[in-house]
Amino acid sequence: MPGSATSVFGEPADFGAALHNHGNVNFYLTGHGRFIARLTMFKMYRLGITGVAEHLPRIGFLAVPPDTVQIVFPVGDRPSPIWGGCQPASGELMTLGPDHRVHVRTNGLCRWGAIWLSAQVLAGYFHELTGNTLTIAPAAQLWRSPRSMRQLHAAAIRAVDVRPETIVNAKAAHGMEQQLIEALVKCFSDRPLPEQPRPRHSLEGIVVRFEELLPGRRGEALREEELSAELGVSTTCLRACCMRELGMSPVTYIRLRALHWVHDIVQRGTLDVENVSQIARDHGFRDLGRFAESYRSLFGQLPSTTSRRLHGQVVIKP
């Protein structure tokens, strides 16, 4: 049965968890400030839609579920997130095929929408309405975004926010779903837009493999030379791919992840010893002064202040 919900989040971890339906794997803020995000979701019979407004820069890793196509696009005059180094412009949409894995980042305030449905269902409707076969590539593709689709998406999001009891009516939901599917079929009847500048095919997936390597090396002070050797690429290649897709170097990304892990441990209060210095060392930080400054720049306070407020006096020892 159709269902809808609108939520406003003040904690990034809660927002990241709510994006799990989109395949969200992890979520890290990259800038300090008051976090706020708004998420509107409407699940119909065969597809779902989402409207999102975010206010702080962040980066995350997305794994599209099997047999699912995700269609993402900017909303209004705000930029959309950057998906694997590519950012859909106004009037464009991007398809992410089944099992596709990609980093998603924002540079601050953005608004974006998404439609998700089974790849098999989409292909079935496409064949029924056109007589042709549709294959959505696993890799990201850009398409022109039909005005009718954007208008339907905006109308549904407004209805969920203002009159949710109307939009979840079975007849209304079915009618809107059919119109959205027809708009998508029309969109995919055209060819994808000319391919955006991307790395050579042999370089695609390097940053995904880099991401998947990190959980098993948690706490290690990794250097670019050993990372690139393990991935079988040059340090120049690894750095260039990370700058394109992550917006930062591989070492900077590793430190960002570690800062969030330390912050989460201190906030949860799951400390083996009440000593932030030891926790920092356990997560690969050797220069504690630099660690404290990086922590304050990202979270707006020193790590000892976070811990003191939650658990009592804690001293960072050199």
Confidence band of 277 (pLDDT split at 50, 70, 90)? confident
Q: How far apart are CA 167 and CA 175, in angstroms?
A: 10
288-299 helix and 303-311 helix, angle to the nearest 10 degrees: 70
Residue with the larger pLDDT of the pair 161 and 119: 119
Q: How far apart are CA 134 and CA 123, in angstroms?
A: 5
User: Which pLDDT does position 274 carry in this prediction?
Assistant: 54
- Position 89, amino acid: A
pLDDT score of 273 more than 80: no
The whole-chain average pLDDT of the chain stands at 86
pTM exceeding 0.75:
yes
Q: Where is 79: in which H helix or E strand?
A: none
pLDDT score of 181 more than 90: yes
Give the 3-state secondary structure of residue 127.
helix
Cβ-proximal residues to 230 (8 Å cutoff; 6+ apart), any chain: 213
Residue with tokens 């990370």: 242
Q: How far apart are CA 243 and CA 253, in angstroms?
A: 10
Burial label, 145 (beta-carbon count in 10 A; 0-12, 13-18, 19+):
buried
Q: How far apart are CA 104 and CA 275, in angstroms?
A: 34
What is the share, in percent, of the chain residues with pLDDT greater than 70? 88
Query: Do strands 82-83 and 37-43 pair parallel, antiparallel, or not at all (unpaired)?
Result: unpaired
Mean pLDDT score, 144-150: 92
CA distances (Å), origin 199, targets 89, 106, 238, 244, 251: 20, 21, 11, 9, 21
pLDDT digits (tens, 9 = 90+) for 218-230: 778 788 999 999 9
φ, ψ for residue 112, nearest 5 deg: -150, 160
CA distances (Å), origin 62, targets 25, 104, 125, 299, 313: 6, 7, 26, 24, 38
Q: Which domains does the chain carry?
A: 3-189 (2.60.120.10), 201-311 (1.10.10.60)
**Do the beta carbons of residue 76 and residue 48 sit within 8 Å?**
no
Mean pLDDT score, 229-244: 94
SS3 content of the chain, % helix, strand, coil (to 5): 45, 20, 35
**With the C-alpha atoms ordered 103, 270, 284, 215, is the resulting torsion angle positive or negative?**
negative
pLDDT digits (tens, 9 = 90+) for 247-260: 999 999 999 999 99
Residue with tokens 């890793």: 61
Confidence band of 196 (pLDDT split at 50, 70, 90)? low
Give the 3-state secondary structure of residue 277.
helix
User: Which pLDDT does position 309 carry in this prediction?
Assistant: 54
